[in-house]
Amino acid sequence: MIEDIDALIEQQDDLEQSISEIKAQLEAAVARQKDTGEYADPVWFAKAKAALRFKGAEHQRLMRRISRRRADTSAMHFRLKHAAMCAANAIHAGTGGLIKGSLLERELRDALGLGPGEFADVTADQVNADQTK
């Protein structure tokens, strides 16, 4: 099942917030060192820098997932539009609708994510209603 893009974007927002907080802590430590000459705990500083790198890598992976989901959604909409146009042409040409087991029927079923037994014949009224949207 395609992950919900909104949920991924929410994860992205949380991750960006975490990255901002880590950066703020590191900048505060560097500023304190410049002002007072006192260095932050080197173990803490190394862990914070490593966390920033890991969060950055996680952010990149999440961005790729969001990009793939958007591309998948766009491709699905294109396939649905194409299949609906083919169905409208078939109805207009007088075939009366979809032929069970036809390539068009399979394309519509695949685009909608339905199994073989779940597909209902598309009627002219349904296609016309979809075209007016």
16: Cα separation from own chain's centroid? 17
* CA dist., res. 107 & res. 61, Å (int): 31
Would you say 5 and 70 are in contact if contact means Cβ atoms under 8 Å apart?
Answer: yes
pLDDT recorded at residue 103: 63
Low-confidence ranges of the chain (pLDDT < 70): 1-3, 85-133
Q: What is the pLDDT of residue 117?
A: 55
Contact (CB, 8 A) for 111 and 88: no
pTM of the predicted protein model: 0.57
DSSP 96: -
Q: Report the half-sphere exposure of 111 (CA within 13 A, side-chain side).
A: 17
CB neighbours of 124 closer than 8 A, spacing ≥ 6?
A: 91, 97
